[in-house]
Amino acid sequence: MKTQLNVADFVAIACNELEKMKEEANRDNPPTERVAVFAPPRNTNGDQHLIYSVFDPGVDVGYLYTAGLSALHPSKTEFICTKCPREHIVAVSNMFNFLANRLLSGHDVCPNHNASSPGVVCKVLAISDDHNQTLLRSHAKQVDRQTKLLRIKVVSHAVPPAPPGMGWSQP
C-alpha cells in the first residue's frame, strides 16, 4: 500500500534528509583548512605579491607564505612561516612585505639575518632542497616548483621599544 504525500510534506522530508546527509559528510570529512589571501599595496615599481594565510578551523597555529615574489626577482625567492600563531598574522604579513621590499630594492635577504616588526622579531632561515620541495608541495601550493623558499621564524613575540618602522640586522 502506497502512502501519498502532499508536496509540502515531501519537501520537508527531503530537506530533513539533505540536512542529515550534510551533517554526516561534515562529520566524516570536516573542512580541512581555511585560506585567506592578502594583496599588499604595490611597491614603487607597481609590482605586487600575494600573502596566503592558511589555518585549520579551530586551530590557533597555521602558516603563511608569499606568492608572486619569485616572478619579480631573479633569485626566485618566496617567504614562508610554517608555525605562525593566529595573533601574529598581521605582524608576519608586515614582515613579509618588509623583506619583499628589501629584496626588490636590491638588498640581500639571507639566512641567519634578523628582522623586527611591531609585535615580532623574526629570523630568516635556510631550507634544505628536499624540505623546500616538500613545503612547495604541501604548503606553498600557489608557488612555482622552481622557487627557493626562505623560512621566516618568529623568535620573539615582544619587541623592545625601537624607532618607528621596521629594523634589520645581519648575524
The predicted-structure confidence for 95-112, as pLDDT tens digits, reads as follows 898 898 888 888 889 899
Q: How confident is the model at residue 24 (pLDDT cuts 50, 70, 90)?
A: low
Q: How confident is the model at residue 78 (pLDDT cuts 50, 70, 90)?
A: very high
Q: What is the pLDDT of residue 5?
A: 43
pTM of this prediction exceeds 0.75:
no
Report the share of the chain in percent with pLDDT over 90: 27
CA 54 – CA 158 distance, rounded (Å): 23
Residues in the chain: 171
- Take residue 111 and report the three cell numbers written for it: 639566512
CB 63 within 8 A of CB 139: yes
The total of other beta-carbon atoms located within 10 Å of residue 145's CB is 9
The predicted-structure confidence for 120-171, as pLDDT tens digits, reads as follows 889 999 999 999 999 999 999 889 999 999 999 998 876 555 445 555 554 4
- Domain ranges for the chain, please list them: 34-169
| Residue whose C-alpha cell reads 618588509 in the numeric block | 98
Higher-pLDDT residue of 160, 12: 12
Higher-pLDDT residue of 160, 88: 88
Is pLDDT above 90 for 30? no
Task: Share the mean pLDDT of the chain.
Answer: 77
Which residue from 88, 62, 92, 90 is spatially nearest to 79, judged by alpha carbons?
A: 92
- Per residue, what are the HEC states of the chain? CCCCCCHHHHHHHHHHHHHHHHHHHHHHCCCCCEEEEECCCCCCCCCCCEEEEEECCCCCEEEEEEECHHHCCCCCEEEEEEEEEHHHHHHHHHHHHHHHHHHHCCCCCCCCCEEEECCEEEEEECCCHHHHHHHHHHCCCCCCCCCEEEEEEEEECCCCCCCCCCEEECC
- Phi and psi, residue 154, nearest 5°: -75, 120
CA 104 – CA 125 distance, rounded (Å): 19
CB 101 within 8 A of CB 73: no
Is pLDDT above 70 for 41? no
Is pLDDT above 60 for 3? no
